[in-house]
Structures are given as C-alpha cells and as structure tokens.
Amino acid sequence: MKRITYIFLLLFCQWNIVAAENRVNFTNSNLPVLLFNTQDKTITGKPIPCSVQILNKPENTNQYGSLIRIHGATSQGYPKKSYRIVFNLPVEFFGLKKTHQFVLNAAFIDPSLMRHKLSYDLFLSLSTPQSPRYAAASRFVEVILNREYIGVYLFMERINRQLLNLRKFDSNNFAHSVIYKAVDHAANFAQSGHNGYEQQEPDLSKKQYWQPLDELNKFVSSAKNEDFFNPQTGIASKVDIENAIDFHLLVLLTSNSDGITKNYYLVRNGQEKPPLTEKFFFIPWDYDGSFGRNWDSSHYPHNIWLSNHLFDRLMENKEYRTRFANRWNELRQAQFSEEFIVGLIDDNVQTLGNAIERNRKRWPEARNHYRDHTTFEQDIQLMKSWLKKRLDWLDKEINRRAGS
C-alpha cells in the first residue's frame, strides 16, 4: 500500500510539472529526469541550498539535500547554464561512483550534446587493472529546475581526491597528493613556475603546495637532453609515460585544440615516506571543442598536429616516437577504430532518443550560436565524416614521424 501511495504521488507530481510547463511529457524518455528546487530562484556563482529528486524512477522517491551554483567560465555567457552540485551526503546515481560532487554540463555549444561524454568514455576505455585511465564518467539526464524544463544535460563526476582514490592530506607525509587544473594556455610546460594552473588538492585552506609542479615545469622547460632522457632520473621517473602517450593520442584523435595547453588535470598521489616513486599523470577535461569543432563551435580541420613543450621534447626521441606509433597502431585495431567510435556515437544517439527534440524545442536559439547553424542530425554526420578523414591523416602522420 505504501509503494502504491509513493507511485501515485510521483505521478501526481509529474502531471503537475507537465501541466505547468507547456506539457513537456517524459513518458517515453530513455533518460532519468532530475528535479531541482531552490528557494532562491536566482542561481549565481555562490552556492545556495537545493533539493534534488529523480522524477521518473518509482523505486527511488528520496529527496536529496545539496548546494547548487553556476559552473564554468566561457559557458557562463550562454543561455543554457551549467551547474555544480554538491550533495550534503555522498550519493550513488545511475551507476556512477558514490560521491558528493557532480557537474551538470549543459553542452550548449555542442550541437551533438555528446562530445564530452564520447571523449571521456574513450579515455576510460583504455583502462586496465594495472594502468587505470581516469576521466569523468557521466550519464545523460533531463533536468527540471524550479518547475521549468531546461533540457538535456550531462550528469558528470567531478575530478577530486575521492574519485581518484588519492592519499588524504596528512601534514606528516613525505609528499602530499596533488591535483593541478590547467586553466590557461600558459600551462604548456615551456617555462618554470605554475602560471596557468589552479591548485585543487591539497585544499588551499590546508596548504599551498606548488613545489611538485614547479619542479616538474623547471625540469621540462630547461633540462638538457641527456638529463631529460636519463633512464633513472629523467622524465620517465617523474611522469607516467604510458599515460602521457594515451592522453596525447586522445587529444590528437579528438583534435581538442583547447585541451593540450590547458583544460587538463595533472595529478600525483601522495606518499608517507621517501624515496619518491609516485609519478604525475594526465586526466582530460572540457572536450566540447572536439571531433571537428573548435571551442567556439566553428569547424576545425582534420589535418592539424597538436602538442605542447613536454610532448615536443618527448617526440625528439626516436625510441619514444616508436612507442608512440606502436600504441597508436594498437589502439586503431580496438578503441580507436572507426567502427568502435561510430558505435559509441550511435549508442549515444539511441540513448538520447526523443529527448533530443525536447531539448531542441526548449533551446531553439542554440542554432544561432553554431557557426554553421547546424542541426543535431547534421552534426552527427559531420562528426562521422570528419572522424574518417582524421583517422586516415593520423595513420600517415604518426607513422611518418616515427620513421623520421
């Protein structure tokens, strides 16, 4: 009887929202529908209290307390906003890792709505038990905010210490866990210091901790070649080279021109005692400008090489170029094959289903922000045709560089 009452209340709530919001009907939605309510109807960069419910999941009628605020930098200027959600207690939604911090990504400038997810899922697919590859796992959702339907969003994990299973800060440790976010093109490894980065771990309220990054940037920007490639004390002792190769290959595959000298995370785990054995590794972030589009939605060529000073130096080494090409050729038979990537695209289209049309009706002005005023369907075809040309070009270019 109690379950019947819950379902009746849920259906009553859904009917009210449908009636109030120009009859947005979620009956056939493939996606979870998240309902957010705030007392203060104006959401800014300052966190405010918010309640969260999953509307179309009768098995979960819980109401979750949280804080919500606007998220992003350039994207704050778009009509459809992205949001950061911090739950009062850790939650486990949609098969994602149990945690308390998430991002609602609007993907407003991406006509396909999927470039973030596609890129992160590709990087995650490269993980093995021995060599994990970290990125934000995500799920498509539809969102109602204060009784207003605001479209399709990507409900994403947020990169933090808990998600990465890093050692917790302890002032007595020999080396602390670090997460540095590259937020400016100065994060290109071409100079010493830490311009272009934000420190996210340790929490700045506990410790300002730039020494590990300063030491890495000084080494990459100024070390002599014999020191840089020294087998014991060189770059391979400081950076996870296999991770760096996979990260660079992802940037090249996707042509994320905004993700090679900024918009990435540089992470290293902490250690209780010396000697230092932990290495830096990369995590991708912000991939709406990829797969044939730039960050401003303009078309991006298929035949451009992307790099930074660290990767330039690595590519000077013949042995490294061979390893790089071998890894590319290996992945081209698996996760980086055209068949595999097109399959991911098609799976996302099927998952989005009729939510695509609801989002289009909610944000008809979105096409005016795309340089070519494209539709969702046209952009999917653009991605696929661009991908084929990109893969063909990289096959030749990577193997050419390996042989030079």
Higher-pLDDT residue of 211, 373: 211
Q: How far is CA 167 from CA 102, 133, 171, 241, in A?
A: 21, 18, 12, 22
Q: Which residues of 65-80 are buried (b: 16+ CB within 10 A; e: fewer)?
A: ebbbbebbeebeebeb
pLDDT surpassing 80 at residue 308: yes
| Side chain identity at residue 25, one-letter code | N
Q: Provide the token pair at 184.
A: 């400016």
Asked if 247 contacts 264 with a C-beta cutoff of 8 angstroms, the reply is: yes
Sign of the dihedral defined by the CA atoms of residues 381, 94, 126, 280, in that order: positive
* pLDDT of 12: 41
Dihedral of CA 278/280/283/286: which sign? positive
What average pLDDT does this structure show over 276-305? Answer: 95
Parallel/antiparallel/unpaired status of strands 197-201 and 281-284 = unpaired
Dihedral of the alpha carbons of 180, 184, 186, 187, in degrees to the nearest 10: 30
Q: How would residue 23 be classed by pLDDT, with cut points 50, 70 and 90?
A: low
In this predicted structure, the answer to whether residue 33 has a pLDDT above a threshold of 50 is: yes
State pLDDT tens for residues 96-135: 999 999 999 999 999 999 999 999 999 999 999 999 999 9
pLDDT at 93 over 90: yes
- Say yes or no to pLDDT of 359 above 90: yes
CATH class assigned to 167-403: mainly alpha
The reported pTM is: 0.93
Q: Pick from 90, 89, 52: which is nearest to 68 by CA? A: 52
d(CA 127, CA 244): 13
- Beta strand 33-37 pairing with 138-145: parallel
- Spell out the domain ranges in the chain: 2-161, 167-403
Cα 67 to chain centroid distance, Å, stands at: 21
Identify each DSSP E strand in 280-332 by its residue range.
Answer: 281-284
